């Protein structure tokens, strides 16, 4: 969910359709700057040095995580001499290498070793197919539609007693933002757990019997593929923008609900670009149609959008910090239960609350659309590990722990909604 406020020259090159060169982050540093009351000063430094923020726009008494190219490190350190800064990544290129080698998957072996490494996009699809093939009586491979480049938005549909499509829907989306690799792994772990433990765990069987699960680990496949071939820090989809060389829309700023409000950008080069018109992202169109179809059928019990990083569990609204969601007390109670369940697994602390208050204002997001238009009974978004030490390049060793703790939170929701 994090977005970049300004464009580096190298990232701008990556955004140009005609320049598909691989971006290297060797020598880049990432600093955390404590903003305090110095909002204007921090904004000025970011503008002057053309720095990208991993944590949105600076706000009073908050912080920003800034990616600094080697050519600007000396200037940055001089300009922030009177501010409190912390070095997060000494060399981002090395951090990306330490994230863990992308591992090739042995087709047919949909087992827990999958969660020991990150994987190429084609292997994600194969893993789902192999998982489904092991449980053909209560699962199927589905597609929400096509990406801008024609890739399937591949998911897995899981059901229990009563047959497929007979119960209210649970909808989970991962990798909305391309560089947030941990999200697809966590979503796949949830699908894996539901299927592999269904026969042996009575609570799991109860979940599967009560709901139909529609689980989409990678809903931005073009962007995700681009992070593996060209630019590890890419966020948006890969849709061209008419009259502009910058590529991509932020899928989570493009949903056709309060689309033109604060919390998104009108600049095609911005990482939170909302699109030329509401719902004009190829992927958003497909995801909206799929969600609308479920809403008009048995209805949607839960919509959950997975992001990283910050360790937050949030609920509506994003578009406003004053609007209060219906059943807000129940949302708050569920949020508290989820963060407690997560912490009980590995001791990792999450914070719960409304999106706008807890992280920042967001316009045109899927959670608000699911709440007010698709009429989901509950709608959430989560920011997974960590709080900034690794940020978007979470080491592979943290995949399984992150998935385990998040599953505990999901199980709490399924048992207590």
Span 157-193, pLDDT tens digits: 999 999 999 999 999 999 999 999 999 999 999 999 9
User: pLDDT tens, 392-415?
Assistant: 999 999 999 999 999 999 999 999
Beta strands 63-68 and 52-53, pairing class: antiparallel
| pLDDT digits (tens), the chain, 417 positions | 444 433 444 444 444 444 467 899 999 999 999 999 999 999 999 999 999 899 888 888 989 999 999 999 999 999 999 999 999 999 999 999 988 767 778 888 899 999 999 999 999 999 999 999 999 999 999 999 999 999 999 999 999 999 999 999 999 999 999 999 999 999 999 999 999 999 999 999 999 999 999 999 999 999 999 999 999 999 999 999 999 999 999 999 999 999 998 999 999 999 899 999 999 999 999 999 999 999 999 999 999 999 999 999 999 999 999 999 999 999 999 999 999 999 999 999 999 999 999 999 999 999 999 999 999 999 999 999 999 999 999 999 999 999 999 999 999 999 999
Q: What pTM did the predictor assign? A: 0.92
Which sequence spans correspond to the domains of the chain? Answer: 29-99, 112-230+260-416
Written as one string, the DSSP assignment of 300-366 is EEEEEEEEESS-EEEES-SS-SS---TTHHHHHHHHHHHHHHHHHHH----EEEEHHHHT---SS-H
Contact 253, 264 (CB under 8 A): yes
Q: Write out the two tokens for 358.
A: 């807890």
Q: Which uninterrupted H or E stretch holds 12?
A: helix 9-15
Report d(CA 118, CA 127) in Å as an integer: 12
CATH number, domain 112-230+260-416: 3.40.630.10
Q: How far is CA 156 from the centre of its chain?
A: 18
Q: How far apart are CA 344 and CA 338, in angstroms?
A: 10
pLDDT number for residue 3: 41
Active site residues: 383
- Name residues whose C-beta falls within 8 Å of residue 234's C-beta, 6 or more positions apart in sequence: 14, 178, 179, 223, 226, 227, 248
Listed residue (366, 336, 376) closest to 353, CA to CA: 336
Which pLDDT score is estimated for 285? 98
Name the CATH superfamily housing domain 29-99: Metallocarboxypeptidase-like (3.30.70.340)
Per the CB < 8 A criterion, the answer to whether 384 and 342 are in contact is no
Q: What is the pLDDT of residue 109?
A: 80
Q: Is 1 helix (H, G, I), strand (E, B) or coil?
A: coil
Find the angle CA(412)-CA(298)-CA(147) to the nearest 5 degrees.
85
In the prediction, which pLDDT does 194 show?
A: 97
């Amino acid at each position: 969910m994090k977005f970049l406020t300004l464009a580096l020259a190298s990232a701008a090159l990556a955004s140009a359709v005609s320049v598909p060169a691989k971006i290297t982050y060797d020598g880049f540093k990432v600093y955390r700057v404590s903003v305090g009351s110095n909002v204007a000063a921090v904004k000025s430094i970011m503008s002057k040095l053309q720095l990208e923020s991993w944590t949105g726009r600076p706000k009073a008494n908050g912080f920003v995580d800034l990616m600094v190219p080697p050519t600007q490190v000396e200037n940055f350190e001089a300009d922030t001499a009177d501010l409190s800064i912390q070095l997060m990544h000494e060399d981002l290129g090395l951090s990306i290498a330490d994230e863990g080698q992308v591992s090739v998957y042995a087709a047919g072996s949909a087992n827990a070793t999958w969660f020991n490494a990150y994987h190429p996009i084609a292997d994600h699809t194969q893993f789902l197919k192999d998982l489904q093939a092991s449980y053909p009586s209560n699962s199927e491979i589905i597609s929400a539609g096509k990406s801008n480049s024609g890739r399937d938005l591949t998911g897995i549909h899981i059901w229990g007693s009563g047959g497929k499509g007979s119960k209210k829907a649970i909808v989970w989306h991962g990798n909305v933002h391309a560089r947030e690799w941990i999200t697809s792994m966590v979503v796949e772990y949830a699908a894996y757990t539901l299927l592999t433990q269904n026969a042996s765990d009575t609570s799991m069987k109860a979940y599967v019997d009560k709901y139909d699960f529609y689980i989409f680990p990678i809903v931005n496949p073009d962007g995700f593929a681009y992070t593996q071939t060209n630019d590890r820090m890419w966020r948006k989809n890969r849709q061209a923008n008419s009259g502009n060389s910058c590529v991509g829309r932020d899928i989570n700023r493009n949903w056709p609900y309060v689309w033109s409000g604060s919390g998104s950008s009108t600049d095609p080069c911005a990482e939170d670009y909302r699109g030329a018109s509401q719902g004009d992202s190829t992927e958003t169109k497909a995801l909206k149609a799929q969600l609308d179809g479920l809403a008009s059928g048995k209805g949607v019990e839960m919509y959950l959008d997975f992001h990283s990083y910050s360790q937050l569990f949030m609920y509506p609204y994003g578009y406003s910090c004053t609007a209060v969601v219906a059943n807000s007390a129940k949302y708050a109670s569920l949020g508290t239960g989820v963060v407690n369940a997560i912490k009980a697994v590995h001791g990792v602390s999450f914070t719960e609350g409304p999106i706008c208050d807890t992280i920042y204002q967001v316009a045109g997001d899927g959670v608000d659309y699911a709440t007010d238009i698709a009429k989901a009974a509950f709608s959430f978004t989560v920011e997974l590990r960590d709080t900034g030490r690794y940020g978007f390049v979470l080491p592979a060793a943290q995949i399984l722990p992150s998935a385990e703790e998040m599953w505990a939170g999901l199980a709490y929701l399924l048992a207590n909604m």
